[in-house]
A = this chain, B = another copy of it.
Amino acid sequence: MRIGILGGGQLGRMIALAGVPLNLSFRVLDPSRAACAAAVAEHHVGEYEDYAALADFVAGLDVVTYEFENVPVETARWLSLRVPVFPPPEALEVAHDRLAEKLFFTRIGIPVPAYGPVTTRQDYDDAIRKVGLPAVLKTRRFGYDGKGQTVLRTDADIEPAWTLLGGRPLILEQFVKFEREMSLLGVRGREGEQRFYPLVENRHRDGILHQSLAPAPDRGSLHELAEKYVGAALSTLSYVGVLAIEFFVVGDSLLANEMAPRVHNSGHWTIEGAVTSQFENHLRAVLGWPLGDTSPRGFSAMVNLIGQLPQREAVLATAGAHLHLYGKTPRPGRKLGHVTLTADTREGLAEVMRRWQG
């Protein structure tokens, strides 16, 4: 079986690494010659809107998936006329647009922060009145890792934010005073079977995921709530593959921040920390195979390696630390790899984390 992946970054690389032992082979489409998935996959260099390249790419593939959500919906639809494409292009369409995403969440009963759509200056003023400050002004499309957004803390920020982002389709969102951020990954097979990984707590730095703790400590009944929400999204979209939803925790409730229709950075811990990794389960799902056990194995912490790499020897010498490098050239703010720390108990994990940080 040959799987096509739109995008050849670290997510594609880790999908392929999970698939080789299942005797799958991979072809990635990525405009960058340096796409790091090329180490373990056939690499087609091409743009996602180049239909001649897409025709070449799709020839001989059994199924197509994608590893980042900024793939044009038209591309996914065009491919889906030739070969099964999972997750469904409809999920991509919802995830592309923060407004469509909010409307979708609301429609299926998932609470979201207060928000207002912003196209004109009049919309902007209306939204500020409705949402109040502090708030976050975001582009509706193509934002990730904190890009394409700015925080309005006081009235003094209103004009500079408009100067920075105005003129594009925007959304103003309530700045939620959340206690914690969490995410839940679900996976749905072609026949509708659903499984869920444990709820994970995420800590960000400079708008980029820095650390995930799995399972999330002190999650009370939040896991059940998150599972209900993600399950509703999976069913409504007739979704196939891994889906991640990020939440803000406010008291006993969860407010959905955004969804990612793909394997997700907050699930990298599953390689060592779960019985079946998110990457293998994504493949099982898109191929129509039985899903794997999503139970955790002990306790895990995933730490992203951003911008620069730690000393390799120090990581390798830390018992319980698992190093994953993506083969990318270091650059400020770039995700270069991650380390997953594992232990049998939460106390053991705290000890591994102390050794790692010390």
With both beta carbons as reference points, the residue of chain B lying nearest to A342 in the complex is identified as B275
Assuming the contacts A313-B290, A316-B289, asked whether A325 and B23 have C-beta atoms less than 8 A apart, the reply is yes
For residues 237 through 287 of chain A, which have their beta carbon under 8 Å from a beta carbon of chain B?
A: 275, 284
Q: Are A39 and B22 in contact (CB under 8 A)?
A: no
Residues 272-312 of chain A, each 1 if its beta carbon lies under 8 Å from chain B, else 0: 00010000000010000110110001100000000000001
Chain B residues within 8 Å of A22, by CB: 323, 325
Tell me, in angstroms, the Cα distance from A293 to B341 when the chains sit together.
12
Chain B residues within 8 Å of A40, by CB: 20, 40
- 10 more contacts with CB within 8 A, not counting A21-B323, A25-B39, are A17-B20, A20-B327, A22-B325, A23-B325, A23-B326, A275-B320, A289-B313, A289-B316, A292-B316, A293-B319
Min CB gap A335→B, angstroms: 14
Interface centre among A23, A39, A324, A326 (most CB of B within 10 A): A23
Sort A-B residue pairs by CB-CB distance and give the 3 closest, nearest first. A23-B325, A290-B317, A293-B319
With both beta carbons as reference points, the residue of chain B lying nearest to A338 in the complex is identified as B21
Indicate which residue in B292, B316, B325 contacts A284 across the interface (CB closer than 8 Å): B316
Tell me, in angstroms, the Cα distance from A284 to B39 when the chains sit together.
20
Q: Are B21 and A324 in contact (CB under 8 A)?
A: yes
Min CB gap A325→B, angstroms: 4
For residues 49 through 105 of chain A, which have their beta carbon under 8 Å from a beta carbon of chain B?
A: none
Chain B residues within 8 Å of A325, by CB: 21-23
Q: Are B319 and A275 in contact (CB under 8 A)?
A: yes
Tell me, in angstroms, the Cα distance from A325 to B21 when the chains sit together.
5
Chain B residues within 8 Å of A21, by CB: 17, 323-325
Tell me, in angstroms, the Cα distance from A298 to B40 when the chains sit together.
30
Q: Are B275 and A290 in contact (CB under 8 A)?
A: no
Chain B residues within 8 Å of A317, by CB: 290
